[in-house]
Structure 1
Amino acid sequence: MSMIQKNVQNIRQKIITIALRCGRDPNKITLLAVSKKKTIKDIKQAVDAGQLCFAENYIQEGVEKIKLLSNLSLIWHFIGSLQSNKSRFVAKYFDWCHTVNSVSLANRLNFQRSSMSNKLNVLIQINISNEVQKSGISLDELPFLAEAINVLPFLALRGVMAIPPLYKSYDAKLLAHRKIAEVFQQLTHMYPSVDTLSLGMSNDMDAAIIAGSTMVRVGTAIFGRRV
């Protein structure tokens, strides 16, 4: 068994342990393997361990991998910042987009997805602490954008995504995650299609799952450090 296969198994076990510890169903939490800068061989090793959901940050790299692995039934998520001139590639090749942050981008994706038989699953990216270096909308913009996406026929509004700040204290980390989870819960009451909170990475998975994340994005802990 390869190191990547072992890592996938270990992360899955960790998700189960954390979920059970806080009274959650582990089956309601999806492991998303962040495969940016990783090889086809690396991805195939993760697939051998039963991993089917992968995330890419860069359009060109992601599209190449999707084409090369099209014979496998994988689900592809785009999690990088999306420039409107590249949106057609996300609409054409990916199953999910985690980084929708404006009505104009949503409209473009909707138009570019119109020839496909299935909807593009979208998450609204929230910039929870209004950090300048991070993209995403502020919390007060969320109701307006959610409403706008919900009426678009070729997009499925599935929830929200966030990258909280790197707090040193665990309590501060948990508080930030809970704030996002609260907003997500409010959306689930308004829109039946909303079921996904993409929150938590290798370094904050514990706090994210306890807060209520339904999808954790893990790269380093599966594939090792990027060179």
Structure 2
Amino acid sequence: MRLDDPARLRAVAATGLVGRDASTRLGPVVRRAAAAADAPMALVSLVGEASQWHPAVVGAVPRELDVARSLCAVAIEREELLVVDDLDADARWSAMAGGGLRAYAGRPLSAPGGELLGTLCVLDVAPHVFGRSTSAALDDLAAWAEAELATAAGGDAGRARADELADLQARLLEATAHELRTPLTAIRAHAELLLDDPDGMSSGARASVEAILANAIGLQRSGDALLDALRRDAAGAEAAIRRRLGLTDR
């Protein structure tokens, strides 16, 4: 898969994890990968067009790396597990052995749509024979990492949807408040004007206007109480939606 594939780059960005630490979400995956391979370093990479970001790492691994020196990028382009037991022993990879790196095993990670996002990989500063057990562990743990990355991407989409719903609720409540208050305010104002002129109406008419005014005031208070209750319910519903989508801890 081409590193500059637009769909792939959109899928990488959609994880919402580029430039962020995701140790809480992905830390258990990389720790188990390092243990399974008996390697001092492990990471999840998200490979962009020019650089790759490591949202979760074990060991002395930089958080960002130029793609030109990235074995993860090679694994993505090949669309397969890449294993190099000794970088110095193979002319194809010796140029990527900087920073003391000598051994690498990385399994590409896919988005739900099939786009390759990066890799789950283990690394060593000494030659290291990664056997079948390491490959099998990377396959199993990559499925876990892929699920976490998909959840992260879904969380951002869910957050956007929750924000959209909250905005819609707010606008609906404001429109409802306007529709309730405007006629009641007008009725109350006209009733008060009529009552300001004690000689302009009979006692019976005055009693009727006073009843209208009292009812308008009562309706305004009831409407305000109703709107306050709706606002509390809306806030509670938004919080429930965010909890359900797992957006409260990010």
- Bigger CA radius of gyration: 2
Q: TM-score range by the shorter chain?
A: under 0.3
Larger helix proportion of the pair: 2
| TM-score for both structures, normalised by structure 1 | 0.27
| TM-score for both structures, normalised by structure 2 | 0.25
